[in-house]
Amino acid sequence: MTESQNKTHFGFQEVDEQAKQGLVGNVFRAVADNYDVMNDAMSMGVHRAWKWFAVAQSGVSAGDSVLDLAAGSGDLSLKFANKVGPDGMVIVTDINAAMLAQGRKRLTDAGIAGNVDYCLVNAEKLPFEDNQFDCISISFGLRNVTHKDQALAEMRRCLKPGGRAIILEFSQPTNSTFRKFYDAYSFNVIPKLGELISDDRDSYQYLVESIRQHPPQEELKQMMLDAGFDRVRYHNLTGGIVALHMGYKY
C-alpha cells in the first residue's frame, strides 16, 4: 500500500492520511472565533480547572523554556508565560493560522510580550533543535494528529534531558454508568450547542467522534513509553473524561 492509499480516521469517517490535516484545518478555521465560548459551554467551565491542574503539574518555573503545541486560543500559553517570567521563553504554536491568531490576541490583550514567540508548527515535524525545551505541552490537540507516534517522538527529541512532556486530552470515563451519561451528553448535546452558538453542528460532531477515536489512558501511556519517555504516568480528571499524561526524557 502506498502512502497516498494509507487510511486514517477523521471522526468516524475513514479518509486518506494525506487528506486529514486539511479536514482538521477546516474544522478549526470554522470554530476559531467561538472557540473559548464553546469550551465554556461544553464543559460548563470545568476545562479551566483541567488546564490549571496541567500547568501546576508541569513543574514549569522562572527561566524555563516551554513549547506549547496546538496552543489554540493560548490559555495554557498565558499561564506558562506568567510562570517562566522575563528570563524564560514560551513558544506558542499551532498548525492552524486562525487558531494561532486567537492565541496571539489573548496574550497581547493580557500584556504578554518579550518572553513569547509564535510559530505555525506541525507537531509531527517540529522545526526546533534537539534538547531545546524544559517542558513541551499539548492540550486537546494530540487526538487531531495523524501520526501520534511521530509527534511523541518529536516532543521527546526537542526536550532537554530531564525535561517533561505533558499531554492534556479527552479520554475514557472509568465508570461504566458515568460513561453512558457522558456518551448521551456528548452525542446529543454538544453538536446542538455547536449549532446554536456557532451555527456549526458538523465541527462539533467531529469533536465528539474524534474523542472516541483517541487512544484511552493505558494505550497512550504505552505509546509514550514506546517513544522513549520515562516515568510516564497519568491523572484522570472528572472521572476520566480528561486525562493528563506526563513523561520525562533522560
Is 122 part of any known ligand binding site?
yes
Grid cell digits, residue 50: 483541567
Half-sphere exposure of 52 (CA within 13 A, CB side): 5
How many structural domains are present in the chain? 1
Backbone angles phi, psi at 9, to 5 degrees: -100, 145
Q: What is the DSSP letter of 215?
A: -
| CATH, residue 86 | 3.40.50.150
Chain CA centroid to CA 44, Å? 19
Task: Please tell me the chain's helix, strand, coil percentages from 3-state DSSP, rounded to the nearest 5.
Answer: 50, 25, 25
- Residue 5's pLDDT is what? 65
Indicate whether 196 belongs to any domain: no
Indicate whether 183 belongs to any domain: no
3-state secondary structure of 9: strand
Neighbouring residues of 210: CB distance < 8 A, sequence distance ≥ 6 = 9, 10, 11, 143, 144
Grid cell digits, residue 51: 488546564
Indicate whether 191 belongs to any domain: no
> What domain range is 14 assigned to?
3-175+203-248
Is 73 part of any known ligand binding site?
yes
Grid cell digits, residue 125: 515535524
Q: What is the DSSP string of 115-165?
A: SEEEEE--TTS--S-TT-EEEEEEES-GGG-S-HHHHHHHHHHHEEEEEEE
- Residue 3's pLDDT is what? 46
Q: Check: CB of residue 11 under 8 Å from CB of residue 18.
A: no
C-alpha 208/C-alpha 99 separation (Å) is: 19
Is 87 part of any known ligand binding site?
no
C-alpha 172/C-alpha 134 separation (Å) is: 29
Grid cell digits, residue 18: 494525506
- Residue 85's pLDDT is what? 98
Is 139 part of any known ligand binding site?
yes
Q: Which helix (H) or strand (E) holds 69?
A: strand 65-69
Q: Check: CB of residue 116 under 8 Å from CB of residue 100.
A: no
3-state secondary structure of 229: coil
Indicate whether 187 belongs to any domain: no
Indicate whether 184 belongs to any domain: no
Which residues face 164 on adjacent strands? 135, 248
Q: Check: CB of residue 242 under 8 Å from CB of residue 170.
A: yes
Q: Give, for all 250 residues of the chain, the pLDDT tens digit.
A: 444 468 888 888 888 988 888 888 888 888 888 888 888 888 989 999 999 999 999 999 999 999 999 999 999 999 999 999 999 999 999 999 999 999 999 999 999 999 999 999 999 999 999 999 999 999 999 999 999 999 999 999 999 999 999 999 999 999 999 999 999 999 999 999 999 988 889 989 999 999 999 999 999 999 999 999 999 999 999 999 999 999 999 9
Neighbouring residues of 197: CB distance < 8 A, sequence distance ≥ 6 = 34, 37, 38, 41
What is the pTM (predicted TM-score) of this model? 0.92
Indicate whether 185 belongs to any domain: no
- Residue 1's pLDDT is what? 41
Indicate whether 181 belongs to any domain: no
Indicate whether 27 belongs to any domain: yes
